Chains A and B, each alone.
Chain A
Amino acid sequence: MLPATIWLLVFAVAPVVLLFAMSFWTSSIFGTEPDFTLENYKVVTEDPIYLLILLQTLRIAATVTLISLLVSYPIAYFLASLKGLSKTIFIIVLFLPFWSSYVVRTFVWLPMLGRNGLVNSFLMAIGVTDAPLDWLLYNEGATHIGLVYVYTLFMTLPIYLSLDRMDPNLIEAAADLGAGPIRTFFRVILPLSMPGVISGCVMVFLLGCGAYVTPQLLGGTTGIMFGNLIATQYTTTNNWALGAALSVVLILVVGLCLAIFGRRARISDIFIRT
Protein backbone atom coordinates (compact mmCIF):
# COMPACT_ATOMS: atom_id res chain seq x y z
CA MET A 1 0.00 0.00 0.00
CA LEU A 2 2.63 2.52 1.05
CA PRO A 3 5.06 1.86 -1.85
CA ALA A 4 2.19 2.23 -4.32
CA THR A 5 1.09 5.50 -2.73
CA ILE A 6 4.63 6.88 -2.85
CA TRP A 7 4.91 5.79 -6.47
CA LEU A 8 1.71 7.69 -7.30
CA LEU A 9 2.86 10.80 -5.46
CA VAL A 10 6.18 10.83 -7.32
CA PHE A 11 5.10 9.79 -10.80
CA ALA A 12 1.44 10.80 -11.07
CA VAL A 13 0.96 13.84 -8.84
CA ALA A 14 4.35 15.56 -8.79
CA PRO A 15 4.66 15.87 -12.61
CA VAL A 16 1.23 17.50 -12.84
CA VAL A 17 2.14 19.91 -10.03
CA LEU A 18 5.37 20.76 -11.84
CA LEU A 19 3.47 21.33 -15.10
CA PHE A 20 1.08 23.63 -13.29
CA ALA A 21 3.96 25.57 -11.75
CA MET A 22 5.79 25.79 -15.06
CA SER A 23 2.82 27.49 -16.65
CA PHE A 24 3.88 30.55 -14.61
CA TRP A 25 7.54 30.32 -15.64
CA THR A 26 9.41 32.00 -18.46
CA SER A 27 10.78 30.29 -21.55
CA SER A 28 13.54 31.87 -23.58
CA ILE A 29 16.17 30.58 -26.00
CA PHE A 30 18.28 29.76 -22.95
CA GLY A 31 15.67 27.39 -21.54
CA THR A 32 12.77 27.53 -19.12
CA GLU A 33 13.39 29.40 -15.84
CA PRO A 34 11.34 29.48 -12.63
CA ASP A 35 9.38 32.71 -12.39
CA PHE A 36 5.96 33.92 -11.41
CA THR A 37 4.39 35.55 -14.41
CA LEU A 38 0.97 35.47 -16.02
CA GLU A 39 2.60 36.18 -19.38
CA ASN A 40 1.86 32.70 -20.78
CA TYR A 41 -1.82 32.92 -19.92
CA LYS A 42 -1.89 36.40 -21.42
CA VAL A 43 -0.59 34.97 -24.69
CA VAL A 44 -3.23 32.24 -24.57
CA THR A 45 -6.08 34.71 -24.07
CA GLU A 46 -4.79 37.42 -26.40
CA ASP A 47 -3.89 35.41 -29.47
CA PRO A 48 -7.28 34.34 -30.94
CA ILE A 49 -5.80 31.20 -32.51
CA TYR A 50 -5.74 29.42 -29.14
CA LEU A 51 -9.36 30.11 -28.27
CA LEU A 52 -10.39 29.27 -31.82
CA ILE A 53 -8.62 25.92 -31.83
CA LEU A 54 -9.85 25.18 -28.31
CA LEU A 55 -13.44 25.69 -29.42
CA GLN A 56 -12.81 23.69 -32.57
CA THR A 57 -11.37 20.89 -30.43
CA LEU A 58 -14.38 20.83 -28.12
CA ARG A 59 -16.69 20.92 -31.13
CA ILE A 60 -14.86 18.06 -32.88
CA ALA A 61 -14.77 16.02 -29.66
CA ALA A 62 -18.50 16.61 -29.13
CA THR A 63 -19.44 15.69 -32.72
CA VAL A 64 -17.23 12.62 -32.62
CA THR A 65 -18.90 11.61 -29.36
CA LEU A 66 -22.36 12.03 -30.87
CA ILE A 67 -21.47 10.14 -34.07
CA SER A 68 -19.87 7.34 -32.06
CA LEU A 69 -22.98 7.10 -29.92
CA LEU A 70 -25.28 6.80 -32.94
CA VAL A 71 -22.96 4.35 -34.67
CA SER A 72 -22.27 2.21 -31.60
CA TYR A 73 -25.66 1.96 -29.92
CA PRO A 74 -27.23 -0.44 -32.44
CA ILE A 75 -24.09 -2.59 -32.34
CA ALA A 76 -24.18 -2.72 -28.54
CA TYR A 77 -27.87 -3.62 -28.73
CA PHE A 78 -27.13 -6.30 -31.29
CA LEU A 79 -24.33 -7.82 -29.19
CA ALA A 80 -26.51 -7.83 -26.08
CA SER A 81 -29.25 -9.67 -27.98
CA LEU A 82 -26.90 -12.48 -29.05
CA LYS A 83 -26.29 -15.64 -27.07
CA GLY A 84 -23.63 -18.29 -26.67
CA LEU A 85 -20.92 -18.86 -29.25
CA SER A 86 -22.09 -16.28 -31.79
CA LYS A 87 -21.93 -13.63 -29.06
CA THR A 88 -18.33 -14.55 -28.20
CA ILE A 89 -17.33 -14.53 -31.85
CA PHE A 90 -18.91 -11.16 -32.65
CA ILE A 91 -17.32 -9.62 -29.56
CA ILE A 92 -13.85 -10.97 -30.35
CA VAL A 93 -14.15 -9.78 -33.96
CA LEU A 94 -15.14 -6.37 -32.62
CA PHE A 95 -12.13 -6.26 -30.28
CA LEU A 96 -9.49 -7.47 -32.75
CA PRO A 97 -8.80 -4.16 -34.55
CA PHE A 98 -8.64 -2.36 -31.22
CA TRP A 99 -5.89 -4.62 -30.00
CA SER A 100 -3.44 -2.83 -32.26
CA SER A 101 -1.99 0.57 -31.53
CA TYR A 102 -4.10 3.57 -32.52
CA VAL A 103 -1.21 4.80 -34.63
CA VAL A 104 -1.83 1.86 -36.97
CA ARG A 105 -5.60 2.28 -36.69
CA THR A 106 -5.28 5.89 -37.79
CA PHE A 107 -2.75 5.10 -40.46
CA VAL A 108 -5.12 2.69 -42.26
CA TRP A 109 -7.20 5.69 -43.35
CA LEU A 110 -4.39 7.19 -45.43
CA PRO A 111 -4.65 4.54 -48.16
CA MET A 112 -8.44 4.60 -47.81
CA LEU A 113 -8.93 8.32 -48.43
CA GLY A 114 -5.75 9.30 -50.31
CA ARG A 115 -5.53 10.34 -53.97
CA ASN A 116 -5.01 6.79 -55.16
CA GLY A 117 -6.93 5.33 -52.26
CA LEU A 118 -9.80 2.90 -52.22
CA VAL A 119 -12.59 5.47 -51.97
CA ASN A 120 -11.30 7.47 -54.92
CA SER A 121 -10.74 4.36 -57.03
CA PHE A 122 -14.25 3.22 -56.26
CA LEU A 123 -15.82 6.58 -57.07
CA MET A 124 -13.91 6.74 -60.35
CA ALA A 125 -14.81 3.16 -61.25
CA ILE A 126 -18.53 3.78 -60.88
CA GLY A 127 -18.20 7.07 -62.74
CA VAL A 128 -19.09 9.52 -59.97
CA THR A 129 -15.93 11.49 -60.63
CA ASP A 130 -13.30 11.56 -63.39
CA ALA A 131 -10.34 12.78 -61.37
CA PRO A 132 -9.45 11.71 -57.82
CA LEU A 133 -10.98 13.90 -55.14
CA ASP A 134 -8.43 15.73 -53.04
CA TRP A 135 -10.73 16.87 -50.28
CA LEU A 136 -11.25 13.45 -48.74
CA LEU A 137 -8.08 13.72 -46.68
CA TYR A 138 -6.31 16.38 -44.62
CA ASN A 139 -9.29 18.25 -43.22
CA GLU A 140 -11.77 18.17 -40.38
CA GLY A 141 -13.90 15.49 -42.02
CA ALA A 142 -10.96 13.09 -42.13
CA THR A 143 -10.20 13.89 -38.47
CA HIS A 144 -13.80 12.99 -37.60
CA ILE A 145 -13.72 9.69 -39.47
CA GLY A 146 -10.37 8.79 -37.93
CA LEU A 147 -11.44 9.60 -34.38
CA VAL A 148 -14.73 7.70 -34.66
CA TYR A 149 -12.83 4.73 -36.07
CA VAL A 150 -10.19 4.82 -33.37
CA TYR A 151 -12.47 5.33 -30.36
CA THR A 152 -15.77 3.65 -31.19
CA LEU A 153 -15.05 0.61 -29.02
CA PHE A 154 -14.92 2.83 -25.94
CA MET A 155 -18.53 3.73 -26.70
CA THR A 156 -19.78 0.30 -27.73
CA LEU A 157 -18.39 -1.55 -24.73
CA PRO A 158 -19.99 0.33 -21.80
CA ILE A 159 -23.35 0.51 -23.61
CA TYR A 160 -23.16 -3.20 -24.34
CA LEU A 161 -22.35 -3.94 -20.69
CA SER A 162 -25.32 -1.98 -19.41
CA LEU A 163 -27.69 -3.50 -22.00
CA ASP A 164 -26.38 -6.96 -21.25
CA ARG A 165 -27.14 -6.56 -17.56
CA MET A 166 -30.74 -5.65 -18.32
CA ASP A 167 -33.45 -8.12 -17.42
CA PRO A 168 -35.07 -9.26 -20.72
CA ASN A 169 -38.36 -9.75 -18.86
CA LEU A 170 -38.67 -5.98 -18.63
CA ILE A 171 -38.95 -5.69 -22.42
CA GLU A 172 -41.51 -8.45 -22.54
CA ALA A 173 -43.43 -6.82 -19.72
CA ALA A 174 -43.49 -3.53 -21.64
CA ALA A 175 -44.77 -5.31 -24.75
CA ASP A 176 -47.41 -7.18 -22.74
CA LEU A 177 -48.58 -3.91 -21.29
CA GLY A 178 -49.16 -2.67 -24.83
CA ALA A 179 -46.09 -0.56 -25.52
CA GLY A 180 -44.91 -0.62 -29.14
CA PRO A 181 -41.25 -1.26 -29.97
CA ILE A 182 -40.47 2.46 -30.27
CA ARG A 183 -42.10 3.27 -26.98
CA THR A 184 -40.43 0.31 -25.29
CA PHE A 185 -37.09 1.55 -26.57
CA PHE A 186 -37.47 5.13 -25.38
CA ARG A 187 -39.25 4.37 -22.12
CA VAL A 188 -37.52 1.17 -21.00
CA ILE A 189 -34.37 0.20 -22.89
CA LEU A 190 -32.75 3.61 -23.34
CA PRO A 191 -33.20 4.80 -19.73
CA LEU A 192 -31.81 1.53 -18.42
CA SER A 193 -28.76 1.79 -20.67
CA MET A 194 -28.10 5.40 -19.69
CA PRO A 195 -25.18 4.60 -17.34
CA GLY A 196 -23.40 2.92 -20.24
CA VAL A 197 -24.27 5.74 -22.62
CA ILE A 198 -22.88 8.34 -20.21
CA SER A 199 -19.73 6.34 -19.52
CA GLY A 200 -19.11 5.90 -23.23
CA CYS A 201 -19.73 9.57 -24.00
CA VAL A 202 -17.43 10.74 -21.22
CA MET A 203 -14.70 8.39 -22.37
CA VAL A 204 -14.88 9.27 -26.07
CA PHE A 205 -15.13 12.98 -25.32
CA LEU A 206 -12.10 12.80 -23.03
CA LEU A 207 -10.07 10.86 -25.57
CA GLY A 208 -11.19 13.24 -28.32
CA CYS A 209 -10.09 16.32 -26.38
CA GLY A 210 -6.60 14.91 -25.87
CA ALA A 211 -6.24 13.68 -29.46
CA TYR A 212 -2.96 14.33 -31.21
CA VAL A 213 -2.13 11.44 -33.53
CA THR A 214 -5.32 11.42 -35.61
CA PRO A 215 -5.51 15.17 -36.37
CA GLN A 216 -1.76 15.19 -37.02
CA LEU A 217 -1.95 12.37 -39.57
CA LEU A 218 -5.34 13.03 -41.18
CA GLY A 219 -6.32 16.58 -40.29
CA GLY A 220 -3.97 18.60 -42.51
CA THR A 221 -3.96 22.28 -41.58
CA THR A 222 -7.70 22.85 -41.10
CA GLY A 223 -8.43 19.74 -39.06
CA ILE A 224 -5.90 20.30 -36.28
CA MET A 225 -6.81 20.24 -32.62
CA PHE A 226 -5.59 21.66 -29.33
CA GLY A 227 -3.26 18.69 -28.79
CA ASN A 228 -1.33 19.66 -31.90
CA LEU A 229 -0.91 23.21 -30.61
CA ILE A 230 0.47 21.88 -27.33
CA ALA A 231 2.83 19.47 -29.07
CA THR A 232 4.19 22.26 -31.28
CA GLN A 233 5.49 24.07 -28.18
CA TYR A 234 7.68 21.07 -27.44
CA THR A 235 8.59 19.77 -30.90
CA THR A 236 9.28 23.00 -32.79
CA THR A 237 9.09 26.30 -30.89
CA ASN A 238 10.54 24.93 -27.63
CA ASN A 239 8.35 27.18 -25.50
CA TRP A 240 7.82 24.85 -22.55
CA ALA A 241 6.18 27.46 -20.34
CA LEU A 242 3.54 28.33 -22.94
CA GLY A 243 3.00 24.63 -23.61
CA ALA A 244 2.45 24.13 -19.88
CA ALA A 245 -0.10 26.96 -19.79
CA LEU A 246 -1.93 25.47 -22.78
CA SER A 247 -1.91 22.06 -21.07
CA VAL A 248 -3.36 23.56 -17.88
CA VAL A 249 -6.11 25.22 -19.94
CA LEU A 250 -6.95 21.90 -21.58
CA ILE A 251 -6.95 20.06 -18.24
CA LEU A 252 -9.26 22.68 -16.71
CA VAL A 253 -11.69 22.76 -19.65
CA VAL A 254 -11.87 18.97 -19.88
CA GLY A 255 -12.13 18.74 -16.08
CA LEU A 256 -15.02 21.18 -16.14
CA CYS A 257 -16.83 19.19 -18.83
CA LEU A 258 -16.26 16.01 -16.81
CA ALA A 259 -17.53 17.65 -13.63
CA ILE A 260 -20.72 18.61 -15.43
CA PHE A 261 -21.39 15.43 -17.39
CA GLY A 262 -19.19 12.82 -15.79
CA ARG A 263 -20.75 12.60 -12.34
CA ARG A 264 -22.89 9.65 -13.22
CA ALA A 265 -20.26 7.83 -15.24
CA ARG A 266 -19.10 4.58 -13.77
CA ILE A 267 -15.35 4.42 -14.04
CA SER A 268 -15.27 0.64 -13.96
CA ASP A 269 -17.68 0.46 -16.91
CA ILE A 270 -15.39 2.61 -18.95
CA PHE A 271 -12.11 0.91 -18.37
CA ILE A 272 -12.68 -2.77 -17.92
CA ARG A 273 -12.21 -4.30 -21.27
CA THR A 274 -13.40 -7.87 -21.29
Chain B
Amino acid sequence: MADALTPPRQRLSKRQRRERTRKIALWSYVGFFYAFLYVPIALLIVLSFNNSDVVGLPLRGVTLRWYNEVFGSADLIRSIVNSALLGTVSAIVATTLALLLALGFRTDFPMKAWVMRMLLLPILIPGIVGGVVYLVTFGYGGMPFGVWTSTLPVHITWVLPFAFLTLFPRVHGLDPSLEEAATDLGATPFVAFRRVIFPLIKPGVIATAMFSFTLSFEEFIRTLFVIGSDRTVPVHLWTLLSDQAAPFLPAVGVVIMAVSIFASLIGFVLSAQADRGRAKVT
Protein backbone atom coordinates (compact mmCIF):
# COMPACT_ATOMS: atom_id res chain seq x y z
CA MET B 1 0.00 0.00 0.00
CA ALA B 2 2.69 2.46 1.02
CA ASP B 3 4.57 1.42 -2.00
CA ALA B 4 1.71 2.35 -4.29
CA LEU B 5 1.46 5.82 -2.73
CA THR B 6 5.04 6.84 -3.29
CA PRO B 7 5.40 8.95 -6.43
CA PRO B 8 6.80 6.98 -9.38
CA ARG B 9 10.01 9.00 -9.44
CA GLN B 10 11.15 7.54 -6.16
CA ARG B 11 10.33 4.08 -7.25
CA LEU B 12 13.29 4.08 -9.59
CA SER B 13 15.62 1.33 -8.63
CA LYS B 14 19.01 2.16 -7.22
CA ARG B 15 20.58 1.27 -10.50
CA GLN B 16 18.30 3.55 -12.50
CA ARG B 17 18.94 6.42 -10.11
CA ARG B 18 22.64 5.96 -10.42
CA GLU B 19 22.26 5.84 -14.17
CA ARG B 20 20.41 9.18 -14.08
CA THR B 21 23.02 10.88 -11.91
CA ARG B 22 25.70 9.63 -14.25
CA LYS B 23 23.85 11.04 -17.25
CA ILE B 24 23.44 14.44 -15.62
CA ALA B 25 27.12 14.50 -14.68
CA LEU B 26 28.16 13.56 -18.19
CA TRP B 27 25.94 16.17 -19.84
CA SER B 28 27.15 18.94 -17.52
CA TYR B 29 30.73 17.96 -18.24
CA VAL B 30 30.01 18.05 -21.97
CA GLY B 31 28.57 21.54 -21.44
CA PHE B 32 31.77 22.67 -19.71
CA PHE B 33 33.93 21.17 -22.42
CA TYR B 34 32.11 22.83 -25.29
CA ALA B 35 32.18 26.11 -23.33
CA PHE B 36 35.96 25.70 -22.98
CA LEU B 37 36.13 25.30 -26.76
CA TYR B 38 33.83 28.16 -27.67
CA VAL B 39 34.10 30.88 -24.99
CA PRO B 40 37.52 32.08 -26.26
CA ILE B 41 36.20 32.18 -29.81
CA ALA B 42 33.03 34.00 -28.77
CA LEU B 43 35.16 36.50 -26.87
CA LEU B 44 37.30 37.08 -29.95
CA ILE B 45 34.20 37.77 -32.04
CA VAL B 46 32.81 40.19 -29.42
CA LEU B 47 36.13 42.01 -29.14
CA SER B 48 36.42 42.35 -32.90
CA PHE B 49 33.42 44.72 -32.74
CA ASN B 50 34.58 46.50 -29.59
CA ASN B 51 35.02 50.24 -30.03
CA SER B 52 38.18 50.47 -27.95
CA ASP B 53 41.80 51.12 -28.89
CA VAL B 54 42.97 48.43 -26.49
CA VAL B 55 42.34 44.73 -27.12
CA GLY B 56 40.27 43.57 -24.17
CA LEU B 57 37.40 44.40 -21.88
CA PRO B 58 35.42 46.45 -20.95
CA LEU B 59 33.16 46.79 -23.96
CA ARG B 60 32.86 50.35 -25.23
CA GLY B 61 30.23 50.10 -27.91
CA VAL B 62 30.00 48.50 -31.30
CA THR B 63 32.11 49.49 -34.27
CA LEU B 64 32.94 48.11 -37.69
CA ARG B 65 36.12 50.12 -38.05
CA TRP B 66 38.43 47.19 -37.33
CA TYR B 67 36.80 45.20 -40.10
CA ASN B 68 37.13 48.19 -42.42
CA GLU B 69 40.79 48.34 -41.58
CA VAL B 70 41.24 44.60 -42.14
CA PHE B 71 39.45 44.45 -45.48
CA GLY B 72 41.22 47.61 -46.58
CA SER B 73 44.55 45.86 -46.06
CA ALA B 74 46.05 44.69 -49.33
CA ASP B 75 48.42 42.44 -47.35
CA LEU B 76 45.60 40.35 -45.93
CA ILE B 77 43.85 40.00 -49.28
CA ARG B 78 47.14 38.99 -50.90
CA SER B 79 47.81 36.41 -48.17
CA ILE B 80 44.33 34.91 -48.66
CA VAL B 81 44.93 34.66 -52.41
CA ASN B 82 48.36 33.10 -51.80
CA SER B 83 46.95 30.54 -49.36
CA ALA B 84 44.07 29.61 -51.66
CA LEU B 85 46.29 29.12 -54.72
CA LEU B 86 48.99 27.32 -52.77
CA GLY B 87 46.38 25.05 -51.20
CA THR B 88 44.88 24.24 -54.60
CA VAL B 89 48.18 23.39 -56.30
CA SER B 90 49.45 21.43 -53.25
CA ALA B 91 46.20 19.49 -53.09
CA ILE B 92 46.31 18.55 -56.78
CA VAL B 93 49.95 17.45 -56.77
CA ALA B 94 49.79 15.68 -53.39
CA THR B 95 46.60 13.84 -54.31
CA THR B 96 48.13 12.71 -57.60
CA LEU B 97 51.26 11.43 -55.87
CA ALA B 98 49.16 9.81 -53.13
CA LEU B 99 47.05 8.10 -55.77
CA LEU B 100 50.15 6.68 -57.47
CA LEU B 101 51.38 5.41 -54.11
CA ALA B 102 48.00 4.00 -53.10
CA LEU B 103 47.63 2.11 -56.39
CA GLY B 104 51.16 0.79 -56.04
CA PHE B 105 50.63 -0.23 -52.42
CA ARG B 106 47.88 -2.68 -53.36
CA THR B 107 50.54 -5.21 -54.30
CA ASP B 108 53.75 -6.18 -52.56
CA PHE B 109 57.02 -4.89 -53.87
CA PRO B 110 60.59 -4.80 -52.57
CA MET B 111 61.34 -2.12 -49.96
CA LYS B 112 57.62 -1.48 -49.41
CA ALA B 113 58.12 -0.94 -45.67
CA TRP B 114 60.85 1.62 -46.40
CA VAL B 115 58.70 3.58 -48.82
CA MET B 116 56.02 3.66 -46.10
CA ARG B 117 58.56 4.96 -43.58
CA MET B 118 59.71 7.66 -45.97
CA LEU B 119 56.12 8.62 -46.56
CA LEU B 120 55.36 9.01 -42.85
CA LEU B 121 58.60 10.83 -42.10
CA PRO B 122 57.15 14.35 -42.48
CA ILE B 123 54.47 13.63 -39.86
CA LEU B 124 56.79 11.94 -37.40
CA ILE B 125 59.36 14.76 -37.39
CA PRO B 126 58.49 17.24 -34.60
CA GLY B 127 56.80 20.37 -35.99
CA ILE B 128 59.55 22.86 -35.34
CA VAL B 129 62.19 20.59 -36.86
CA GLY B 130 59.93 20.18 -39.89
CA GLY B 131 60.34 23.90 -40.50
CA VAL B 132 64.04 24.15 -39.73
CA VAL B 133 64.95 21.21 -41.94
CA TYR B 134 63.67 22.99 -45.08
CA LEU B 135 65.16 26.32 -44.11
CA VAL B 136 68.52 24.61 -43.90
CA THR B 137 68.06 22.64 -47.14
CA PHE B 138 66.78 25.46 -49.32
CA GLY B 139 69.04 28.01 -47.66
CA TYR B 140 72.12 25.88 -48.26
CA GLY B 141 70.95 24.78 -51.71
CA GLY B 142 70.47 28.39 -52.75
CA MET B 143 66.77 28.05 -53.59
CA PRO B 144 65.11 31.48 -53.38
CA PHE B 145 62.48 31.64 -50.62
CA GLY B 146 58.91 32.34 -51.65
CA VAL B 147 55.42 30.90 -52.07
CA TRP B 148 56.06 29.19 -55.40
CA THR B 149 59.71 28.26 -55.01
CA SER B 150 60.40 26.83 -51.56
CA THR B 151 56.96 26.76 -49.92
CA LEU B 152 55.16 24.68 -52.56
CA PRO B 153 57.37 21.55 -52.28
CA VAL B 154 57.24 21.82 -48.48
CA HIS B 155 53.45 21.91 -48.51
CA ILE B 156 53.19 19.01 -50.96
CA THR B 157 55.54 16.87 -48.87
CA TRP B 158 53.69 17.76 -45.65
CA VAL B 159 50.25 17.02 -47.11
CA LEU B 160 51.27 13.84 -48.96
CA PRO B 161 51.21 11.36 -46.03
CA PHE B 162 47.77 12.58 -44.90
CA ALA B 163 46.51 12.34 -48.47
CA PHE B 164 47.83 8.80 -48.73
CA LEU B 165 46.29 7.72 -45.42
CA THR B 166 42.93 9.16 -46.47
CA LEU B 167 43.03 7.68 -49.95
CA PHE B 168 44.55 4.28 -49.33
CA PRO B 169 41.56 2.68 -47.53
CA ARG B 170 39.34 3.75 -50.46
CA VAL B 171 41.72 2.32 -53.08
CA HIS B 172 42.72 -0.75 -51.12
CA GLY B 173 39.52 -2.70 -51.75
CA LEU B 174 39.75 -2.23 -55.49
CA ASP B 175 40.02 -5.59 -57.21
CA PRO B 176 43.17 -5.71 -59.43
CA SER B 177 41.34 -8.13 -61.74
CA LEU B 178 39.23 -5.16 -62.94
CA GLU B 179 42.30 -3.63 -64.50
CA GLU B 180 43.40 -6.99 -65.80
CA ALA B 181 40.04 -7.53 -67.45
CA ALA B 182 40.22 -4.11 -69.07
CA THR B 183 43.74 -4.64 -70.41
CA ASP B 184 42.85 -8.15 -71.56
CA LEU B 185 40.04 -6.60 -73.56
CA GLY B 186 42.57 -4.41 -75.28
CA ALA B 187 42.61 -1.22 -73.19
CA THR B 188 45.96 0.48 -72.64
CA PRO B 189 46.88 0.89 -68.95
CA PHE B 190 46.03 4.59 -69.22
CA VAL B 191 42.61 3.94 -70.70
CA ALA B 192 42.00 1.21 -68.13
CA PHE B 193 42.73 3.72 -65.40
CA ARG B 194 40.63 6.51 -66.86
CA ARG B 195 37.62 4.41 -67.82
CA VAL B 196 37.57 1.73 -65.11
CA ILE B 197 39.59 2.63 -62.03
CA PHE B 198 39.15 6.36 -61.77
CA PRO B 199 35.31 6.42 -61.90
CA LEU B 200 35.27 3.96 -58.99
CA ILE B 201 37.59 5.94 -56.74
CA LYS B 202 36.61 9.45 -57.83
CA PRO B 203 34.69 10.27 -54.61
CA GLY B 204 37.69 9.27 -52.51
CA VAL B 205 40.00 11.34 -54.68
CA ILE B 206 37.81 14.41 -54.29
CA ALA B 207 37.61 13.96 -50.51
CA THR B 208 41.39 13.56 -50.33
CA ALA B 209 42.00 16.67 -52.41
CA MET B 210 39.69 18.75 -50.20
CA PHE B 211 41.33 17.48 -47.03
CA SER B 212 44.75 18.24 -48.52
CA PHE B 213 43.64 21.74 -49.38
CA THR B 214 42.60 22.50 -45.80
CA LEU B 215 45.83 21.05 -44.41
CA SER B 216 47.88 23.26 -46.68
CA PHE B 217 45.65 26.27 -45.97
CA GLU B 218 46.25 25.97 -42.23
CA GLU B 219 49.92 24.99 -42.29
CA PHE B 220 52.07 27.43 -40.36
CA ILE B 221 55.32 26.31 -38.78
CA ARG B 222 56.90 24.74 -41.88
CA THR B 223 55.74 27.67 -43.97
CA LEU B 224 57.11 30.31 -41.60
CA PHE B 225 60.71 29.20 -42.08
CA VAL B 226 60.71 28.96 -45.88
CA ILE B 227 58.34 31.61 -47.14
CA GLY B 228 60.79 34.51 -47.13
CA SER B 229 58.97 37.82 -47.48
CA ASP B 230 55.77 36.35 -48.96
CA ARG B 231 52.72 35.73 -46.75
CA THR B 232 50.13 33.02 -46.31
CA VAL B 233 47.15 33.60 -44.04
CA PRO B 234 48.59 32.07 -40.83
CA VAL B 235 52.01 33.65 -41.43
CA HIS B 236 50.34 37.02 -41.96
CA LEU B 237 48.56 36.71 -38.60
CA TRP B 238 51.84 35.71 -36.96
CA THR B 239 53.66 38.79 -38.22
CA LEU B 240 50.81 40.97 -36.96
CA LEU B 241 50.91 39.27 -33.58
CA SER B 242 54.47 40.42 -32.99
CA ASP B 243 52.87 43.86 -32.71
CA GLN B 244 50.52 42.81 -29.94
CA ALA B 245 48.97 46.18 -29.24
CA ALA B 246 47.24 46.37 -32.63
CA PRO B 247 43.54 46.88 -31.81
CA PHE B 248 42.37 45.26 -35.05
CA LEU B 249 43.88 41.86 -34.17
CA PRO B 250 40.60 40.25 -33.04
CA ALA B 251 39.00 41.26 -36.34
CA VAL B 252 41.91 39.72 -38.28
CA GLY B 253 41.57 36.57 -36.18
CA VAL B 254 37.84 36.35 -36.86
CA VAL B 255 38.29 36.85 -40.61
CA ILE B 256 41.05 34.24 -40.81
CA MET B 257 39.05 31.80 -38.73
CA ALA B 258 35.97 32.34 -40.88
CA VAL B 259 37.94 31.80 -44.09
CA SER B 260 39.58 28.56 -42.90
CA ILE B 261 36.39 27.17 -41.36
CA PHE B 262 34.49 28.01 -44.54
CA ALA B 263 37.11 26.27 -46.70
CA SER B 264 37.06 23.21 -44.45
CA LEU B 265 33.29 23.11 -44.28
CA ILE B 266 33.08 22.99 -48.08
CA GLY B 267 35.62 20.17 -47.99
CA PHE B 268 33.63 18.33 -45.34
CA VAL B 269 30.35 18.62 -47.24
CA LEU B 270 31.96 17.58 -50.54
CA SER B 271 33.70 14.59 -49.01
CA ALA B 272 30.50 13.55 -47.20
CA GLN B 273 28.68 13.73 -50.53
CA ALA B 274 31.49 11.78 -52.15
CA ASP B 275 31.16 9.09 -49.49
CA ARG B 276 27.45 8.90 -50.02
CA GLY B 277 28.10 8.51 -53.74
CA ARG B 278 30.50 5.70 -52.95
CA ALA B 279 27.91 3.98 -50.77
CA LYS B 280 25.51 4.02 -53.70
CA VAL B 281 28.06 2.44 -56.03
CA THR B 282 28.99 -0.44 -53.77
Contact = CB atoms under 8 A, between A and B. Distances in A.
Interface of A: 1, 3-5, 7-9, 11-16, 18-19, 22, 32, 71, 74-75, 77-78, 92-97, 99-104, 107-112, 114-118, 121, 149, 181, 206-207, 209-213, 217, 226-227, 230-231, 234, 240, 243-244, 247, 250-251, 254-255, 258, 267-268, 271-274
A99 B214 contact: yes
B183 to A, nearest CB: 17
A100 B37 CA distance: 13
B240 to A, nearest CB: 10
Contacts of A114: 55-56
B56 A115 contact: yes
Contacts of B68: none
Given A94-B37, A115-B56, A104 B30 contact: no
Contact of B121 (A16, A22, A149, A234): A16
Given A101-B218, A109-B40, A19 B33 contact: no
B86 to A, nearest CB: 13
Nearest to A74: B29
Contacts of A240: 136, 139
Interface string B105-138: 0000100000100111111111111111111110
Contacts of B121: 8, 12-13, 16
Interface stretch (B70-78, B197-205, B255-263): B255-263
Interface string B96-109: 01101101100001
B77 to A, nearest CB: 17
Given A1-B101, A11-B153, A22-B136, A117 B57 contact: yes
Contacts of A1: 100-101, 103-104, 109
Given A15-B133, A103-B237, A234-B225, A121 B261 contact: no
Q: Is the interface of A mostly helix, strand, loop or mixed?
A: helix
A107 B126 contact: no
A97 B130 contact: no
B136 A111 contact: no
A211 B157 contact: no
Contacts of B24: none
Nearest to B27: A78
Given A247-B133, A254-B126, A9 B118 contact: yes
Contacts of A93: 34
Interface in B121-178: 121-137, 139-140, 153-154, 156-157, 160-162, 165-166, 169
Nearest to B232: A101
B100 A15 contact: no
Interface string B26-39: 10011001101111
B119 A101 contact: no
Given A12-B121, A97-B41, A111-B55, A104 B130 contact: no
Most B CB atoms within 10 A — which of A15, A97, A206, A258?
A15
B177 to A, nearest CB: 19
B253 to A, nearest CB: 5
B58 A101 contact: no
Nearest to B215: A273
Given A1-B101, A32-B140, A250-B128, 14 more contacts: A4-B98, A4-B160, A13-B121, A74-B30, A94-B34, A97-B41, A101-B234, A116-B58, A226-B128, A230-B128, A243-B132, A244-B136, A271-B123, A271-B162
B66 interface: no
What 4 A-B pairs are tightest by C-beta distance, nearest first? A210-B126, A116-B56, A210-B127, A1-B104
A104 B257 contact: yes
10 contacts: A4-B160, A15-B136, A16-B121, A95-B264, A100-B257, A101-B237, A104-B257, A111-B250, A230-B128, A268-B169
B181 interface: no
A16 B134 CA distance: 9
Contacts of A7: 97, 156-157, 160
